[in-house]
Structure 1
């Protein structure tokens, strides 16, 4: 190893919950010299970037949080986004992470030096930072997608992307058009419909929506959670078990438990039938793919919006945009003076990874994934990328709560670095053999999922990459994932 003095022991890219989880695990391991780089002007990841009206978690808050750092004071079962942002700040303060964060730093490239055994991270503006270990925690939903509709640059009104919301924007008296009907749109559309003179929702793909059992958490319950943490832990177990039943039986084990999947679809259809009066609108809002092909969402207000006189659903394909509205392929023109882009994120083209990463022997991670297959051992490490941990990677997402993924990866980091300490080494790299075996196992386990055994052809789901493979989710239960991340064979890595 080179005697070169490195700037830091580790660099973590991303100051969301994933990056903070890795930082907490490093601290537990005694690694104090790490730097967290964040492109935004504050921490929190998606809960900092997104602040549109109606923003809330779509997983109960007792589950959507670190199990080792519960928050007893959530105001609702599904907490509003502002509370998640506050929770992120609490985590940063309690675990003393702010002083290790730098904001407004846009990382463009990272390259491994095999002679010196370190990473060089290059940021916009020419800055270079060296570190022994590199962690990417840039999130799954971090690269907004803006469709390039012909004529969009000629639109004379306001264009707002949901990830760049204008706080306080008044829709009163305006003719609004929302493009997209994903989870974000489901939360946002009812809020716009309350104020807008007219609202047209452009739907390319219908989404499964199930009832949202949401309610304020009474003060006495909050005080109980604070005084008796075991009570909140029990609530977490119950909620996690319900989500697990939906995810594992209805989605991952679709082939063996198809009736469960069909029951979920029937629930969603019944929910819609009770809320939408017009038969044709119900037909247009009904997905033509199996439940679970796209991430379903929860709402008690979305469907009812389409009963309002000022709201219209448009399922025609957009041909182009004029200065004063949107024109569909059949020539229909919808007048609009505010265009809201609820068009989601670009996962597979620019998010995996979010910047260029060059490993050993010049392997370009993004090119290698796109030219071949998306893969990562246990969803966290990659062959020919020594001392590299990728938290948002293929086959890493476990369960429906992102915190399951984070905490599983924290277990993996703890076991891996503990073994390096025992051996007295500072370098790790997963073997090609271990990676190939994990990929084969994941592919085999996914064969019975709704993604391959069901009908997902028309879903346009971000679960599928450009090769048509559903490589985002880890095909295991939460408990088995956590167990495997804390007990993987240590010989699956080479140490030096």
Structure 2
């Protein structure tokens, strides 16, 4: 049959899926469904509820361009981000299009019907004309690969699977990881632990966080369209300028990088005012190699040296009650918090399940055997009617992830709408535009410092396991323009023969008639 269960199936009801639903409705596409494995919407913000979770982008920019985010703080806490997701779903009429507790396990393209056949964990199946994985990149939790972790007899918890029923108060707590989640969890654990041990693998660049309350009227003022657009444009322009000047320009003038690095190191040492801590906490790699972080409490936490220990020796083994480091010390613990992030830029991390396109080729295998690219970060030749939102290569701009989600969703919905206007049942990006976009990404990567010696040892997710740039090396403006001014000439559009469509319509009518008898 060539009549699908749904015209569009979106996998995921995080912000990528929500943005896609909004844009599909704006294009007059109503036969779609959002399938979410969790018991609630919000994706990352539904799953991650650890103490101290908050956004590191101002709320006015960590929002969709068409819907203000009224928050209590300049950098809103996690529960307010979750509430914003719920607000979008209700305001734009998506609630009845969402199915919760549905785990997608794989898909296969049928070129004879121009349909995707989808499989789910419960054994059920669905078909759709267009498949939109909107899974984001912070999806697959990653535990530390340390021998013996399964033997630990105390409490083990990953930051994305926080156990709120457990009482952490008064416990000897160990935290592995000092990335974006770790720097938020660590100060909170220090407040309640009898002793906190932090195991640092890679230090991070940190800046003060100008987090102020804005629920005294500024939040209302920022809802005004003129002021709001002006502020968003200013932030976007500043981030684009930082990207171009701070990274691309430094890549073009490598002699300047050591001076910039030393200046940043000096500023951090002045901020810390503690040589022992500075020797451990100041990175050796250049600023800009990883996504920058902000906190006003993180550095202060380590000054409580009687209650907080910062360990930089390699973790060699975990026993039933301790973490053993390379110097032979056994750090005894009651709780082990794994702030170790997610499987990002590893083989098979996106979209995380097998997707078989033309000639039964699997997408992850294709990227592994060739190169990690997608046209505008969204679609790949050989996988017709497949659009990746916030989970494809070369799609994430080092900016607000919601901006990327909105841009990806707009490109996706417009490509589908273009196919509908032409009476097409299959849309696929051409090879040449795909190659041109990939070539641009490679050339810009080679001219950046991300791929150069100054970023060695940074353990950045900007670069994947194949040593290829995973993020999009362009400005937000470039992505915005490509989404809103879709180059339909970059795609091929095909329709099934009318006889096939007519036969499938007759079959569907017969089935409907049989069901009514």
- Superposition TM-score tier, normalisation by shorter sequence: over 0.9
Matched residue, 1:284: 280
Asked if 1:196 corresponds to 2:178, the answer is no
Asked if 1:104 corresponds to 2:115, the answer is no
How far apart are 1:207 and its partner, in Å? 0.7
- What is the aligned counterpart of 1:148 among 131, 139, 145? 145
- What is the aligned counterpart of 1:300 among 289, 296, 299? 296
Matched residue, 1:394: 393
CA change 1:482–1:143 in 2 (3 A) is: same
Asked if 1:17 corresponds to 2:9, the answer is no
CA change 1:287–1:32 in 2 (3 A) is: same
Are 2:157 and 2:338, in contact at CA under 8 Å, matched by a contact in 1? yes
Matched residue, 2:242: 246
Matched residue, 1:129: 126
1:368-408 Cα shifts (integer Å, max 9, x gaps) = 11122111011101011011101110101124101221222
* Distance in 1 of aligned mates of 2:203 and 2:253: 24
* Distance in 1 of aligned mates of 2:79 and 2:47: 11
- Which of the pair has more CA radius of gyration? 2
1:431-473 Cα shifts (integer Å, max 9, x gaps) = 12221111011111222222124512211112221111122x1
How far apart are 1:487 and its partner, in Å? 2.9
- What is the aligned counterpart of 2:365 among 364, 367, 376? 367
Asked if 1:441 corresponds to 2:476, the answer is no
Matched residue, 2:36: 38
Matches within 5 A, 1:16-95: 16-71=14-69, 73-95=70-92
CA change 1:241–1:433 in 2 (3 A) is: closer
Moved more, 81-90 or 247-256: 247-256
Are 2:269 and 2:282, in contact at CA under 8 Å, matched by a contact in 1? no
Moved more, 437-446 or 479-488: 479-488
Are 1:38 and 1:106, in contact at CA under 8 Å, matched by a contact in 2? yes
Are 1:119 and 1:131, in contact at CA under 8 Å, matched by a contact in 2? yes
CA change 1:262–1:49 in 2 (3 A) is: farther
* Distance in 2 of aligned mates of 1:195 and 1:400: 33
How far apart are 1:232 and its partner, in Å? 2.3
How far apart are 1:148 and its partner, in Å? 3.4
How far apart are 1:88 and its partner, in Å? 0.2
* Distance in 1 of aligned mates of 2:406 and 2:258: 31
- What is the aligned counterpart of 1:344 among 307, 330, 341? 341
1:171-199 Cα shifts (integer Å, max 9, x gaps) = 32211110001010011101111111111
Matched residue, 1:235: 231
1:53-111 Cα shifts (integer Å, max 9, x gaps) = 1100011111010011112x210000000000000000110111111111111111100
Are 1:289 and 1:456, in contact at CA under 8 Å, matched by a contact in 2? yes
How far apart are 1:222 and its partner, in Å? 2.3
How far apart are 1:262 and its partner, in Å? 6.9
Aligned length: 491
Moved more, 180-189 or 479-488: 479-488
1:269-305 Cα shifts (integer Å, max 9, x gaps) = 4553344343122011111111121212111110111
Matched residue, 2:206: 209
* Distance in 2 of aligned mates of 1:339 and 1:267: 35
CA change 1:340–1:10 in 2 (3 A) is: same
Unaligned 5+ runs, structure 2: 495-517
Matches within 5 A, 1:1-12: 2=1, 4-12=2-10
Are 1:250 and 1:260, in contact at CA under 8 Å, matched by a contact in 2? no
* Distance in 1 of aligned mates of 2:119 and 2:23: 25
Instruction: Give the 3-state SS of the residue equivalent to 1:368 in structure 2.
Output: helix
Instruction: Give the 3-state SS of the residue equivalent to 2:217 in structure 1.
Output: helix
* Distance in 2 of aligned mates of 1:189 and 1:399: 24
- TM-score in terms of structure 2 length: 0.91
Moved more, 414-423 or 266-275: 266-275
> RMSD between aligned alpha carbons?
1.9
Are 1:420 and 1:495, in contact at CA under 8 Å, matched by a contact in 2? yes
Instruction: Give the 3-state SS of the residue equivalent to 2:132 in structure 1.
Output: strand
- TM-score in terms of structure 1 length: 0.95
* Distance in 2 of aligned mates of 1:64 and 1:303: 25
How far apart are 1:140 and its partner, in Å? 0.7
Are 1:211 and 1:268, in contact at CA under 8 Å, matched by a contact in 2? no
Instruction: Give the 3-state SS of the residue equivalent to 1:115 in structure 2.
Output: coil
Are 1:272 and 1:303, in contact at CA under 8 Å, matched by a contact in 2? no
- What is the aligned counterpart of 2:168 among 150, 156, 171? 171
Are 2:291 and 2:398, in contact at CA under 8 Å, matched by a contact in 1? no
Instruction: Give the 3-state SS of the residue equivalent to 1:10 in structure 2.
Output: strand
Instruction: Give the 3-state SS of the residue equivalent to 1:491 in structure 2.
Output: helix
Are 1:275 and 1:304, in contact at CA under 8 Å, matched by a contact in 2? no
